[in-house]
Structure 1
């Protein structure tokens, strides 16, 4: 497509007042105005023919097939042809999961190219750094390129259909980075075997008492028989059933730090699943909103981790209230042994959380229950901010009331024997793993 620029239109319109002025002053020079218009039209035609033609361009795109939600990725655009402008404006139409409003506007500049369709030469290149905000199938639809002619009188434009789909899945960056960091810090494997044997509830062996051991571990009967102090060594329990329950209701669909809470919960759950599989526990994934969505089988080998990842990628965004009574009752009916249930959820006030507290209380009678909620830093900032106007005072009071209700819900859950941790959004996975490892060290599963 070739069409005139604003400059060309202004130059054409300038012929009208010129013709009017000459008609009033020198009528015999009326041909100057049509001649002016003819000259501008001729320049437009020359500008349209000169330089790069839109049909001669070819586009090469490098689009990843799969990205993690919240992870940065590069989308590379390369335009090649026999003649190229120095720069061109671009407009990229894509899914709003990848960019706000579903549109990215930028520019491409000419650079030396070492390969591609023409085998080398100059090319228009641009690498866009994007991040997916939600899971799902994100379509990169089309690209529009526009550049001006040598005289700046016409725009030359070309639309390239891309039609490439990017699968946005739960991010594994936290699993690979934070998981290895946690294992290095806690030294659960290889470096310190004594840690696994010295803590836990399952009896491992008798060993001679050494300074620093827990005196309560001394076996006095065995010590009397062998005429020396012997202490019991324990090992951390294995083969525990751990259920990672994710609330996918309306409150979890709201963003925090630029990412929906449910996506942060999914990433943290995958990190927990990775750690749990490494420790030979049986890991299941459970999700719910208005009704239970899925409960995976209990996996206990690291090679089963992709199955948990696929199940997590199917957790959808729901815009309905979560039914905790139905979800937790259904989960309790499917568990035939005492389990650790780690629930990722969110609550705003004591009234709406009443049914959740009752359902959690019934579940905590048989199972170990851990609630993981994200600290609402925005509300805390409103509560701490100094008031300047009457509206600021109102917001501060409302924020303080919301925080009081939140602490009331946490206190009621803790009185029922439920563990609750309130963590920052960016440290959700690491904090949940710390709590899980602490429970295992206590041997209270």
Structure 2
């Protein structure tokens, strides 16, 4: 509390408050220590960008990744709208598909739900260059861009990396990805046969390549969350609230 950007009020300084919160001029005028109290800024622009391409339509624990992404996006949209921020929805595969305008207020959540229901499965390869360039052109102010996606190796993610570098120059970018528990389980299986060893080696290589891409995203200034499929929504909400507390939006 009291660590946002919008000035709200003056109050008596209490032990434990940071010295930077003290308003020295007004304290001298009133003859007692007064501290500035701030509130977390509202009206931030939150963009939920959901990849509905081929890789995102693969199931995790019986449910397609895109469905889990939509559920996490709706949870974060509800929290953001309740908190006074603006939310917009964007989906893409080989080309942009769904694009809602920015809305504000809890009453607008029904519209976000309706547009999210329009996101469909696709067997097309994701065109990150077209999608993210189109999205960047729609944004006329700084935004938190949350991208729900997946990738297999550095080669398939190369075009995405090129576009992300331009997006992070102006916006706060967060990638949300589901952990590939199936591949991780292959690396942990007891090597009972030569085939088990071969599968474990291939799976380990895929995981290492995935971490290479994640590392490059972070070097470009993007934030990355790789969460268990059951924790995707809560992990996103926690990071969103952390961004607000740290004044990054």
TM bucket normalised to smaller: over 0.9
Per the normalisation by structure 2, the TM-score is 0.97
Q: How does 1:334-349 map to 2 (within 5 A)?
A: 334-349=138-153
Which residue of the partner structure matches residue 316 of structure 1? 120
| 412, 425, 439: which one aligns with 2:229 | 425
Q: Distance between the aligned counterparts of 2:5 and 2:187, measured in 1?
A: 44
Of 185, 191, 215, which residue of structure 2 is paired with 1:381?
185
Instruction: Give the 5 Å matches for 1:267-278.
Output: 267-278=71-82
Offset of residue 316 of structure 1: 0.8
Q: Per-residue displacement from partner, 1:338-364 (whole Å, max 9, x unpaired)? A: 011111111111111111111111101
Q: Which runs of 5+ in 1 are unaligned?
A: 1-194
Equivalences for 1:73-222 in 2 at 5 Å? 195=1, 198-222=2-26
State the distance in 1 between where 2:238 and 2:116 align: 21
CA distance in 2, matches of 1:379, 1:422: 14
Q: Give secondary structure in 2 for the equivalent of 1:425.
A: coil
Partner-residue secondary structure (3-state), 2:80: helix
Deviation of 1:286 after TM superposition, in Å, equals: 0.2
CA distance in 1, matches of 2:215, 2:19: 34
1:372 pairs with 2:176? yes
Task: Tell me the equivalent position of 1:407.
Answer: 211
In structure 2, distance between residues paired with 1:405 and 1:354: 12
Match of residue 248, structure 1, among 26, 49, 52: 52
Residue 212 of structure 1: how far off its partner (Å): 2.2
What is the alpha-carbon distance in structure 2 between the residues aligned to residue 401 and residue 225 of structure 1? 67
Q: For 1:414, what is the secondary structure of its paired residue?
A: helix
Distance 2:16 2:182 in 1: 46
Shift of 1:309: 0.9
Tell which has more relative contact order, 1 or 2 (C-alpha 8 A, sep 6+): 2
SS in 1 for 2:240: helix
Q: Distance in 2 between matches of 1:214 and 1:292?
A: 47
Q: Deviations over 1:286-308 (max 9, x none)?
A: 00000011210111021111111
User: CA separation in 2, counterparts of 1:390 and 1:213?
Assistant: 63
Show CA shifts across 1:18-67 (max 9, x none). Answer: xxxxxxxxxxxxxxxxxxxxxxxxxxxxxxxxxxxxxxxxxxxxxxxxxx
More strand by share: 1
Q: Distance in 2 between matches of 1:358 and 1:226?
A: 56
SS of corresponding position for 1:284: strand
Tell me the TM-score normalized by structure 1: 0.55
Instruction: Let me know the Cα RMSD of the aligned residues.
Output: 1.1
Structure 1 position 210, deviation (Å): 0.8
Q: What's 2:110 paired with? A: 306
In the alignment, is residue 238 of structure 1 matched against residue 23 of structure 2?
Answer: no
Which runs of structure 2 are paired with 1:33-48 in the superposition (5 Å)? none
**Contact (CA 8 Å) 2:128, 2:160: kept in 1 or not?**
yes
Match of residue 62 from structure 2 = 258
- What is the rounded CA distance, in whole Å, between the counterparts of 2:133 and 2:94 in structure 1? 13
| Structure 2 unmatched runs, 5+ | none
Does the CA-based 8 Å contact 2:98-2:118 persist in structure 1? Answer: no
Structure 2 residue matching 1:426: 3-state secondary structure: coil
Write the distance in 2 (CA, Å) between the matches of 1:216 and 1:280. 27
Alignment pair present for 1:291 and 2:120: no
